[in-house]
Chains A and B, each alone.
Chain A
């Protein structure tokens, strides 16, 4: 073991300081498997103190630090950089405190998203954000990415459900952010959620718990094309209903889902919607009836409601397994995560279809229609020379379409490594410089996750200009009372 590895091993134990090339392979990429970089070392700390000691050592040695949760991210946020130390949080999976009277829970970052709700099921509480990967992704990763999911249309994103965090900064300092009720000062928790591992390493998370709604009704409807399905979505929203989820799948997506999960959805429909309404029992009965009426009027071919919970879960399993299901119909696929204003869905889907046919690649669509978060899946065969590059090109063009229609380049997967080059399409240099202020305030050495999010490297040096005293100095001179 090299001397540096020995020093990390002294902190986390020999078994949890990984330098063996074979073992390192696991950590070369995250869910965006097309990019791979071998880290110098991977450490798997067990406590906040160990994280702090590892970060302090890495900082002293001038090593870049890449935090890693469960490695399920789809934007390369946990992709190592050359010569970095990867800090994996998977061993920090303790349930630290449950506080049902205040509907909050404190957990380690390695706790799996779905395990929180499982643990609380008997008490009638749950954790709302439900990314499709929720049975394998970790809360720490969710915090980094501000993960969404199918049900954020009604319930919001990770940021709306995280009340505070414990974080290790680049110099090893341990800080508590938020945590109380209406914490004083700037909303640091709000800015740390979604910061993609650039500001520090989150080692404990306080999450908000919700009471399970009285009732949930699920409606599955098929349509001749995405045009009618899009019109149905608009009609539901216009009726003043806030469904828990409205998911759209096109024909190709349904074909893949049926092949992988055996849910008995028709293969010939141009588009399908999977809708959840939840809340007060009497209200849910009413809104479900209204939704069925509206989708009928919008031109639905067939409407199904699950017979029981088992069928409902199967439908959702189908939807949540959609990305993985693509393997049934294509050797490779490239996932996009663009957002558009909901009212532009029909137009943008047509543009995407045209882009696909022009490029000769198939594009499957499965997405959160209620909030305009598209997940076009560009299908390709990596064995055919040039197809991967073509798929990436099509993916990039899709993002540009989203930006042109007033949307965003990512709704829930994050910018990471993958989409950093598109940040300039969405933000001006001044916008990016302002975001960079936040990074410099937290991590002036830019040790954490370099090369992610920001399209071009920026320093945290003092800005040029005439010297003027800082606020702190002025405050000192002016006094206060």
Chain B
């Protein structure tokens, strides 16, 4: 029996809610800011929605230790606003400020600065979950360095809430950079972009992000953050790389609207959103031979690519011609190269699995799921391979 959304006000409430849902043999799904509500397959059976918005407390913030422990329902913006007061930030991007931190952990949300700072996996140091049987359990801790016990925090990142309800988490924070500056390269093709991206590394530069906007006349936007002197030095080095290739390069206003676009594409523009991941050396091939042919199958397509991370996000307003077969073809092609194509949002009626071929260690994942959530209480069927 599924009721209106449950809205626990405390983690103790959440424990009671989950325990009663499991006792009744029902299933549930936690929802924070709903920024990744479209990620994954439709649930295998009806789920009781549990909204985490009210679980928004900052449990412990130690500025001098650069760590913060929060309840899962706190929004990305609220957390950043609090730590910004002390010149710090959580080094992960979300273009959707109302995204909940718990949801970002569950979906392993990342943005452009992954290039320099990594993903939530590199930032999370502790987690508190509520198990399907209503037991609270913690893994990791509140200090940045800690190897006591198995790494439950990492296991929760990207698990889509299928092992337990993420109730609280502790993160390592970074100092806010003194400045961030951007340069834009006009590149004729993706092969050149790949060359420039690898030259940035060869020169031991440390860009905060490397992004490509547009498909036919792609422009490459590279940003650097840190102390002003180091950033100025890196901008000069980037300009020198452009001169060596005889291409136009301009310094951009790092806060300009055009740049915010990339984040918007990654966030939730439109009902279609796809994400490719692959090895950096495959970049030009993926863009030309796998992504380009796929674009015809969608309407009003926008693309943002990250050659340094080796990921591409495609968003569109709607499906168009033969979207289903185009997706199947693109997935087969990217999987053949050792990559993946994950569907983050898609209109109903497109019958393509959200994740693709389960990995070789799928039996172990199934075994984990069966140990943590033996009756399939959490998000049944939504995750990889129907977990």
Could you tell me which A residues sit within 8 Å of B by CB distance? Answer: 99, 101-103, 124, 145-146, 148, 152, 156-157, 159-160, 169, 175-177, 179-188, 190-191, 193-195, 211-214, 234, 237-238, 240-242, 279-287, 339-343, 368, 371-373, 406-415, 419, 423, 426-428, 430-435, 437-442, 453, 463, 468-472, 474-475, 478-481
Contacts and interface: CB of A to CB of B under 8 A. Distances in A.
A187 B159 CA distance: 8
Interface in B38-94: 41, 44-45, 62, 64-67, 87
B385 to A, nearest CB: 7
Contacts of B387: 185, 471
B204 A194 contact: no
Given A185-B383, A480-B386, A280 B233 contact: yes
Contact of B143 (A287, A406, A479): A406
B227 A159 contact: no
B374 interface: yes
Contact of B361 (A188, A430, A475): A188
A219 to B, nearest CB: 17
Contacts of A413: 147
B137 A430 contact: yes
B198 A368 contact: no
A169 to B, nearest CB: 8
B146 A411 contact: yes
A183 B138 contact: no
A478 B135 CA distance: 27
B277 A181 contact: yes
Interface string B124-147: 000001010001111101111111
A426 B155 contact: no
Interface of B: 25, 41, 44-45, 62, 64-67, 87, 118, 121-122, 129, 131, 135-139, 141-152, 154-155, 157-159, 163-164, 174-178, 198, 201-202, 204-206, 226-227, 229-234, 277-281, 310-311, 338-340, 342, 351, 355-356, 358-376, 380-381, 383-387
Given A412-B145, A475-B386, A187 B137 contact: no
B150 A438 contact: yes
Pairs A-B, 3 closest by C-beta atoms: A283-B230, A190-B154, A240-B175
Contacts of B177: 240
Contacts of A211: 201-202, 204
Nearest to B118: A160
Contacts of A440: 371
A283 B227 contact: yes
Given A160-B122, A184-B384, A437 B368 contact: yes
A321 B205 CA distance: 32
Contacts of A169: 364
B281 A102 contact: yes
Contact of A180 (B136, B144, B340, B342): B340
Contacts of B178: 240
Given A240-B175, A480-B41, A341 B277 contact: no
B204 A214 contact: yes
Contact of A213 (B45, B164, B204): B204
Contact of B364 (A213, A368, A442): A442
Nearest to A281: B233
A289 B131 CA distance: 50
Given A286-B229, A434-B152, A475-B386, A194 B281 contact: no
A437 B370 CA distance: 9
Contacts of B338: 179-181
Given A187-B158, A211-B202, A430-B136, A342 B64 contact: yes
Task: Indicate the member of B205, B351, B359 with the most A CB atoms within 10 Å.
Answer: B359
Contacts of B64: 234, 237-238, 342-343
B376 A471 contact: yes
A472 B366 contact: yes
Contacts of B122: 156, 160
A207 to B, nearest CB: 15
B280 A101 contact: yes
Contacts of B174: 242
Given A410-B148, A430-B136, 9 more contacts: A176-B360, A186-B368, A194-B150, A286-B230, A423-B148, A430-B135, A431-B138, A471-B375, A471-B376
Given A190-B121, A434-B137, A341 B143 contact: yes
B358 A339 contact: no
Contact of B62 (A184, A285, A341, A438): A341
B204 A433 contact: no
A311 B387 CA distance: 56
B65 A441 contact: no
Question: Which one of B137, B142, B363 has the greatest number of beta carbons of chain A within 10 Å?
Answer: B137
B175 A184 contact: no
Most chain B beta carbons < 10 A, residue from A182, A285, A478, A479 = A182
B147 A194 contact: yes
A442 B361 CA distance: 11
B359 A184 contact: yes
A104 B278 CA distance: 13
A124 B203 CA distance: 10
Nearest to B137: A434
Given A341-B65, A372-B145, A415-B149, A282 B230 contact: yes
Contacts of A470: 370, 374-376
Contacts of B363: 175
Contacts of A212: 204
A472 B369 CA distance: 10
Contact of B365 (A180, A188, A342, A368): A188
A440 B201 CA distance: 42
A475 B376 contact: yes
B44 A480 contact: yes
B364 A188 contact: yes
A253 to B, nearest CB: 19
Contact of B206 (A179, A280, A406): A280
Contacts of A101: 198, 280-281
A366 B131 CA distance: 40
Contact of B204 (A124, A240, A408, A426): A124
Nearest to A241: B175
A182 B149 contact: no
Given A188-B365, A472-B370, A181 B359 contact: no
Given A152-B145, A341-B143, A431-B149, A186 B375 contact: no
Given A181-B339, A471-B380, A279 B230 contact: yes
B368 A182 contact: no
Nearest to B142: A406
B342 A184 contact: yes
Given A211-B204, A280-B233, A283-B226, A435 B149 contact: yes
B45 A341 contact: no
